[in-house]
Amino acid sequence: MIYFDNSATTMVDERVLETYNKVCKNYPGNSNSLHKLGIKSKELEDYATECIAKYLGVKKNEILYTSGATESNNTVLKGVAFRYKTRGNHIITSYLEHSSVIETCKYLEKNGFIIDYVNINEDGTVDLEHLKSLITDKTILVSIALVDSELGIRQDIGGISRIVRNYPKCFLHVDITQGLGKTDISFDNIDFASASMHKIFGMKGIGLLIKKENIEIDNLIHGGKSTTSYRSGTPALPLIVSSMKAIELVIPNIKKNYEYVEKLNKRIISALEKYDNVHINSTDKSIPYIINFSIKGIKPETFIHALDEEDIYISTKSACSSSDISNAVYSLYHDLDIAKHSLRISLSYKNTIEEVEEFIKVFDKVYNKLMFKN
């Protein structure tokens, strides 16, 4: 099997799974309980949260656990919108965002909020001049992904935050789901960040929401106080501790892994570039983990299924997108043919050069078979 769909999800790391199992067995108590078992669980929860905070460079009380980045994104967008609607009703985002941001924005639009989508430059980065022209005293939130899931463009969050910081009543939310563990992140000038642990070889079903201390938002989920009053529910201790493990395994190796994946990326791109009908959609601002390309003349689903037959897994657009056309690719190239035919290879540091060479061979076979079948 060759698994090149790591941006959709990664395969859980054995060490993460082992941690999860151990905590399930040895820490049965609810960390909110006052008895001995509860206290033991609470101590472990506090330890894991402190470690995660240290790795990320944020404060312990700035970490909220959610079920995943979808919930984190919903919590920020709705939580800010409903809390600060008397300040303003304007939100700025981009077409590169994940559906959990775009669809939440559409929901807010139905509820009286005005959503603007900032233009994207030719290299995929946010057009900062356009952002400056959109932002006003009524803007309460700017939400931009550090790295988007389709094209893998790494945004200039520093440049974006300098614009947002001129508007003290406006918050900046950064979806770091595709960037965490792959590229360095500074939380200095951002107010909220969202992530999912299954993108970094962690367990499915847990995400992080970094919320800077002292910022109040409305709750998405109501109930008891739990770890934080912003997200009720019994703390998922085995998931929390396994997340600490997942983070511990990737964060110290960001540079080394990035350089390694860059080599795999270059080899794949140099092979794909040779085909007349292949258009490489990723730009020089894309991180090497994501290669987006279109094959004009072959339906993406047909190509994916042909690769399936060979036990090779890549993806059409983002796994969570429902429409035929990639809005992200369209927003960059303004070409329907390219936007309709986009495919995504997403690599991890666990992929090998042998897998890459095998993929290139199989790609050639499948491409020729489908392109010249008549």
Our finding on whether 143 is near ligand PMP (CB under 6 A) is no
Least CB distance to ligand PMP at residue 9 (A): 8
Name which position in 69, 91, 105, 347 contacts ligand PMP (CB under 6 A). Answer: 69
Q: Closer CB to ligand PMP, residue 39 or residue 320?
A: 320
Is 154 a binder of ligand PMP (CB under 6 A)?
A: no
Which residue of 177, 183, 286, 348 would you call a contact of ligand PMP, by CB under 6 A? 177
Q: How far is the CB of 201 from ligand PMP (least distance, A)?
A: 13
**How far separated are the first and last CA of the chain, in Å rounded?**
29
When binding is defined by CB under 6 A, the residue of 320, 365, 368, 369 that contacts ligand PMP is 320
Please identify, among the stretches 105-113, 217-225, 261-269, 315-323, the one whose residues bind ligand PMP according to the rule CB under 6 A: 315-323
Q: Please give, one letter per residue, the 3-state secondary structure of the chain.
A: CEECECCCCCCCCHHHHHHHHHHHHHCCCCCCCCCHHHHHHHHHHHHHHHHHHHHHCCCHHHEEEECCHHHHHHHHHHHHHHHCCCCCCEEEECCCCCHHHHHHHHHHHHCCCEEEECCECCCCCECHHHHHHHCCCCEEEEEEECECCCCCEECCHHHHHHHHCCCCCCEEEEECCCCCCCCCCCCCCCCEEEEEHHHHCCCCCCEEEEECCCCCCCCCCCCCCCCECCECCCCCHHHHHHHHHHHHHHHHHHHHHHHHHHHHHHHHHHHHCCCCCEEECCCCCECCCEEEEEECCCCHHHHHHHHHHCCEECECCCCCCCCCCCHHHHHHHCCHHHHHCEEEEECCCCCCHHHHHHHHHHHHHHHHHHHCCC
320 annotated active-site: yes
In the window 100-119, what residues touch ligand PMP (CB under 6 A)? 100
Distance of CA 113 to the CA centre of its chain: 24
By CB under 6 A, residue 344 contacts ligand PMP: no
Among residues 31, 178, 226, 281, the one that binds ligand PMP under rule CB under 6 A? 178
323/8 Cα distance (integer angstroms): 16
User: Which residue among 51, 105, 170, 320 is the active-site one?
Assistant: 320
Nearer to ligand PMP, 42 or 78 (CB): 78
| Selected binder of ligand PMP within 78, 90, 98, 279 (CB under 6 A) | 98
Q: Does the protein bind ligand PMP through residue 196 (CB under 6 A)?
A: yes
The nearer residue to ligand PMP, 178 or 326, going by C-beta atoms, is 178
When binding is defined by CB under 6 A, the residue of 243, 292, 315, 318 that contacts ligand PMP is 318
Answer for which of 149, 227, 342, 348 binds ligand PMP (CB under 6 A) is 149
**Is 70 one of the binding residues for ligand PMP (CB under 6 A)?**
yes
Asked whether position 175 contacts ligand PMP by CB under 6 A, the answer is yes
Binding of ligand PMP by 10 (CB under 6 A): no
Q: Which residues are catalytic?
A: 320
Binding site for ligand PMP (CB under 6 A): 68-70, 73, 98, 100, 145, 149, 175, 177-178, 196, 198, 318-320
